[in-house]
Structure 1
């Protein structure tokens, strides 16, 4: 009988405890039903919602705690902001000091939401809202992803823009949380991409093979991720291929003209140098008169002496005076013409005195006979 009573008592205790727990469970509740994953861009603001309700059975002090739950279970939670004993502790976590606040002036009225401003990429993580009022405890978790929106991309071309060549249009954004997606569109003309264009949305490129003039126009690239987008503009101008034959011909002509100019310069330099050397040699040359041939001189002298003797033998006193006035026959005609004017010998100083001694009576005493002497030109011929 005693054992039966004990069994009944234990059963009643279990029922009362389960009823008590059920009452507590239905008293404190978190009523927020918002999204559990939030994506925000850096520098923006976010509200982490946490609404709750209380019942009469909740008689203990109210505590509200927001914390960062580490991905590693071995690490402790990091408390970000705290409400306890009717007091708010906003500067509890130094990295978020001045950037995190309760949404309501008095959180105990059922609004435990917080606002986080000036978001940084380091603010990303899992946040937990914990509401405690004895004997109840309720929690709610939310994932916050702070992303960097794409920076303004740069658009440029790679490769030749000549017709018939292959070209690549490239779009690159240096900043932005991955994954980034790029989209190209043509904004001019028929607004259609070239038929041979192949677009890579992740790499941000458009490859165009055998590009034609129809591909010319304005293109726009848009870089996008989950928190924003930026774009850039590219102007493409496809040009016809140049005249290769004309370029080659012009190059050859230019080279030939250059070589011709160099040849002329070298020729002029060599000629001037040769002329200068020749003039120097002429200035330093010593000129000498070439003596006449001995045979000619002896012949002329023998002729002159014999002529003089024969003439003297036929002279008369009357024409002896004329002989003294005539040019002397002992001069050699060849020497007079061969020598320069400055070197023509002067008449011997004794020629006049000799003629005087041989004039008139003196010639008669000597047994001579005056003879008329014929005139003689410069060639030695008798006139």
Structure 2
């Protein structure tokens, strides 16, 4: 029978002789995909497990944007106690629990932030094939204000094209054209690409005139722009040109009459002033040459 001291020695020998299991570095992404509304903040989760001290810990976050997936960019780095942010993201990206967690906070999100993020963790001397995590981030946004334009011939019998386009919106906005008259009429839209569409109107008439609205909408909201279309006939055009010519001639004649009146007034004033000067000169001469009366004294 073994005493207490013998049992302790046996347990110590068992622990020392038992081979240790090497716990390699592991990275765990708590979510594989996230969705955020433009302008909001989001936490990109990345946890890691290591058995070594954190004095040589290195964490690198990268992004492969949706717009250019083959050109990944560095987002933020933690290296030997220092944090380095991508210059274009300074003020918007930061670590949430460094060094115990590799979570990253992304503020004021934008559509350009969408893409595939990778969280890479190294903690020498540990190495592992599972030290990289991947996360898909989607950023939704309401439609931007659409731009409405029209092209073509607005005379009766002509053809007109109404164009509408938006610069931003996720999911891709749907475009819809309406003719806003006493009864709202929907018009078929020809999609030129994902963010622009047009409506073709052939053989326009007086009934074609009026206010047209293009609406761009998705799950997050709707924006609209307007076009006011005025269709005129050839007779209306000729009448308008005749009225313009008549008005121009009337203005020319009026200006000519004013010029003649001013010249006449100027000449009349000049003649009147000359006659007054001549009369004053004659009166002066009469006074100057009038014989004086001489008084004589007789003694």
Deviation, 1:158, is: 1.6
Contact (CA 8 Å) 1:29, 1:138: kept in 2 or not?
A: yes
Scaled by the length of structure 2, what TM-score is found? Answer: 0.51
Report the equivalent of 2:214: 221
Deviation, 1:183, is: 0.9
Partner of residue 232 from structure 1, selected from 219, 224, 228:
224
Is 1:184 paired with 2:182? Answer: no
Report the equivalent of 1:80: 76
Report the equivalent of 1:35: 33
Q: Which has the higher strand share?
A: 2
Report the equivalent of 1:171: 164
Report the equivalent of 1:60: 52
Change (3 A) 1:209 1:79: closer
Change (3 A) 1:219 1:45: farther
Partner of residue 104 from structure 2, selected from 114, 119, 140:
114
Deviation, 1:161, is: 3.2
Report the equivalent of 2:132: 139
**What does 1:1-383 correspond to in 2, within 5 Å?**
20=21, 24=23, 28=26, 30-35=28-33, 41=38, 45-52=41-48, 54=49, 58-62=50-54, 63=57, 65-68=59-62, 78=74, 80-82=76-78, 87=81, 89-104=82-97, 107-108=99-100, 111-119=101-109, 126-132=116-122, 134=126, 138-143=131-136, 151-173=144-166, 175-176=167-168, 183-186=175-178, 187-193=180-186, 199-200=190-191, 202=193, 203-223=196-216, 231-239=223-231, 241-243=233-235, 247=239
Change (3 A) 1:193 1:97: closer
The whole-number CA distance in structure 1 between the counterparts of 2:45 and 2:136 is 12
Per-residue Cα deviation, 1:222-273 (whole angstroms, up to 9, x for no partner)? 3468x9776333244454525379859x79xx8xx9xxxxxxxxxxxxxxxx
Change (3 A) 1:206 1:171: same
Q: Which has the higher helix share?
A: 1
Query: Runs ≥4 in structure 1, deviation > 6 angstroms?
Result: 69-72, 145-149, 177-180, 227-230
Q: SS where residue 220 of structure 1 aligns?
A: strand
Change (3 A) 1:185 1:60: same
Q: SS where residue 84 of structure 2 aligns?
A: coil
The whole-number CA distance in structure 2 between the counterparts of 1:217 and 1:245 is 18
Scaled by the length of structure 1, what TM-score is found? Answer: 0.42
The whole-number CA distance in structure 2 between the counterparts of 1:245 and 1:220 is 27
Deviation, 1:112, is: 2.5
Deviation, 1:101, is: 1.1
Q: SS where residue 243 of structure 1 aligns?
A: helix
Report the equivalent of 2:268: none
The whole-number CA distance in structure 1 between the counterparts of 2:238 and 2:29 is 83
The whole-number CA distance in structure 1 between the counterparts of 2:74 and 2:232 is 66
Moved more, 139-148 or 207-216: 139-148
Deviation, 1:185, is: 2.8
The whole-number CA distance in structure 2 between the counterparts of 1:192 and 1:245 is 28
Per-residue Cα deviation, 1:100-128 (whole angstroms, up to 9, x for no partner)? 21233x552xx422012345677666432
Q: Which has the higher contact order (CA 8 A, sep 6+)?
A: 2
Structure of greater Rg: 1
